[in-house]
């Protein structure tokens, strides 16, 4: 899938949530967020015949906690969603490290070819970043207005994630494996 389209499908529902919340409030915004998430799932599946793992996990929590938010008329649930998702991602990556499974490699190996040490370092960095985001979400939703929390999700978390990913580039470069040689004819003319 083209990177721009993938990005739109992954962050589009969040942008829709921001816009809907600013116009209609948190409860209608949450319902629209849930609908946008389902549409993004459908579009991903129609284009790729699969839904990427991280957006799928996050989306399931949007639907469950968003549903609780709407049904119980309590925005606590949607505000807890980023905390729960980030702690889950950190826990899954930590469990993988402890059981010699590099789950980050499963998610990113199409983009990077790293040494095992590189994958361990990337995994450790993401664990800490997810825990940081979970903690930051707790601080922001507990100390600011709902509108400010929604703005933080769009204009705070997304740029921080991009900056964090860029900060990982030196580690990725240092631990990249050389590109595999093409298979087939070696060009020597020998048979």
Identify the band that residue 187 occupies on the pLDDT scale cut at 50, 70 and 90: very low
Distance CA 81, CA 152 (A): 14
4-17 pLDDT, tens per residue?
777 788 888 999 99
Token pair 């999700």: residue: 153
Query: Is 184 a domain residue?
Result: no
Is residue 188 situated within a structural domain? no
Q: Which domain holds residue 130?
A: 3-174
Give the pLDDT confidence of 35-83 residue by residue, as tens digits.
Answer: 999 999 999 888 888 888 778 888 999 999 999 999 999 999 999 999 9
Question: For residue 115, is it within any domain?
Answer: yes
pLDDT of 184 > 60? The answer is no
Residue 182 resides in a domain: no
Structure tokens at 90: 């950190």
Element (H, E) at 78: helix 76-98
Contacts of residue 164, Cβ cutoff 8 Å, sequence gap at least 6: 125, 129
183 within a domain of the structure (yes/no): no
Output the CA–CA distances (angstroms, integers) from residue 68 to 99, 100, 105, 142, 147, in the order listed: 34, 36, 33, 19, 19
Q: Domain for residue 180, yes or no?
A: no
Task: Summarize pLDDT for 126-156 with one digit per residue, the tens.
Answer: 999 999 999 999 999 999 999 999 999 989 9
Q: CA-CA distance, 137 to 84, in Å (whole number)?
A: 10
Number of domains in the chain: 1
Residue 1 has pLDDT above 60, yes or no: no
User: Whole-prediction pTM value?
Assistant: 0.83
DSSP sequence for 107-165: HHTTT--B-HHHHHHHHHHHHHHHHHHHHHHHHHHHHS-HHHHHHHIIIIIHHHHHHHH
Q: Please indicate, yes or no, if residue 13 is contained in any of the structural domains.
A: yes
Q: How far apart are CA 123 and CA 103, in angstroms?
A: 8
186 domain residue, yes or no: no
């Amino acid at each position: 899938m083209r990177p721009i389209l993938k990005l739109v499908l992954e962050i589009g529902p969040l942008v829709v949530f921001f816009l809907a919340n600013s116009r209609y409030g948190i409860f209608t915004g949450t319902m629209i967020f849930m609908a946008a998430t389902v549409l993004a799932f459908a579009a991903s599946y129609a284009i790729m015949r699969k839904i990427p793992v991280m957006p799928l996990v996050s989306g399931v929590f949007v639907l469950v906690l968003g549903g609780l938010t709407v049904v119980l008329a309590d925005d606590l649930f949607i505000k807890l969603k980023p905390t729960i998702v980030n702690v889950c991602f950190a826990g899954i990556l930590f469990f993988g490290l402890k059981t010699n499974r590099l789950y980050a490699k499963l998610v990113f190996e199409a983009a990077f070819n790293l040494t095992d040490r590189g994958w361990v370092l990337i995994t450790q960095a993401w664990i800490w970043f997810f825990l940081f985001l979970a903690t930051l979400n707790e601080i922001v939703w507990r100390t600011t207005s709902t509108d400010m929390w929604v703005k933080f999700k769009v204009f705070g978390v997304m740029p921080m994630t991009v900056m964090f990913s860029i900060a990982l580039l030196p580690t990725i470069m240092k631990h990249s494996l050389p590109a595999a040689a093409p298979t087939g004819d070696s060009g020597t003319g020998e048979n």
